[in-house]
Amino acid sequence: MQVLLVHGFLAPRALFWPLAGRLRRLGHPTDVFVYPSHRDDLDTHAEALVARVRAVDGPTAVVAHSLGGLVLHRAVALDPSLPLVRRVFVATPHRGCRVGRRARRSPLARLLPATGKITAYGCEPAPHAAPVGVVIGTRDLLVRPDEADLPGATARLALPFGHNELLLRPQLAHAMTRFLRTGASFDLDESLAASLRDA
């Protein structure tokens, strides 16, 4: 299964390198969908994501972090038949986040690009026909756990890490491999579960 990683607002491609490397070692060909998150609007990025997914040959899963999850929601809304077998949202502000709303009220709000502003209120989550996994950082100060949750998700995983830290930890890759394989759960083996208890 090809895994396409979608980054968040102003996030460098390199932020995904640890996760991408671990997923590859666990048997999943992986690539990063790069888009100019500092400019253009959500529809522009969503249309580009639709084209990228359509260009993949074979079963595809998308793992989207933060703003990338809103791009994924919009892509599915634009093309409901998008051939995705798994969808994973990591720390996505589906209905917006308090930090984003605070930024919109600040004197510097006029300098925020459209994509930065949308994190304040999120977007309408698209109906998802494929299994949907949600990953929540319980120490995330940018997108709180309740803001990252998605009603109706197939599986949820809460990890004791911050917003970007989630992507760097081996527990995420191992748990995600389980979800990519089964579409049912993010089960961790005992050694990784123990490492979380010590975190």
CB 55 within 8 A of CB 79: no
Burial of 6 (0-12, 13-18, 19+ CB in 10 A): buried
pLDDT at 18: 94
Q: Is the pLDDT of residue 4 over 70?
A: yes
Q: Report how far Cα 196 is from the mean position of its chain's Cα atoms.
A: 21
pTM of the shown model: 0.91
Stronger pLDDT, 128 or 146, i.e. the higher one: 146
Quote the CA–CA distance of 43 and 89 in Å, as a whole number: 18
Write out the H or E segment, with its range, that includes residue 6: strand 2-6
The SS3 assignment for 52 reads helix
What are the C-alpha distances in Å from 73 to residues 12, 97, 125, 192?
Answer: 21, 16, 6, 30
pLDDT, mean of residues 77-97: 94
The whole-angstrom separation of Cα 91 and Cα 19 is 15
Number of H helices, E strands in the chain: 9, 6
Q: How confident is the model at residue 109 (pLDDT cuts 50, 70, 90)?
A: low
Q: Each residue of 113-147: b (16+ CB within 10 Å) or e? A: eebbbbbbebbebbebebbbbbbbbeebebbbeeb
Superfamily the domain 2-197 falls into? Alpha/Beta hydrolase fold, catalytic domain (3.40.50.1820)
Position 194 confidence tier, pLDDT thresholds 50, 70, 90:
low
The residues, any chain, with a CB within 8 Å of residue 159's CB and separated by 6 or more, are 135, 136, 137, 138, 166, 169, 171, 172, 175, 196
| The token pair that represents 1 in the structure block | 């299964």
24 has a pLDDT exceeding 90: yes
3-state secondary structure of 40: coil
For the CA atoms of 73, 77, 79, 83, the dihedral, rounded to the nearest 10 degrees, stands at 40
**Which of 48-57, 114-123, 144-153 comes out lowest in average pLDDT?**
114-123
* Domain definitions of the chain by residue range: 2-197
Q: What percent of the chain has pLDDT over 90?
A: 67
| Backbone φ/ψ region at 169: left (φ over 0), alpha (ψ -120 to 50), beta | beta
In 3D, which of 52, 54, 81, 63 has the Cα closest to residue 20? 63
Taking only the tens place, the pLDDT of each residue in 131-174 is 999 999 999 999 999 999 999 999 999 999 999 999 999 999 98
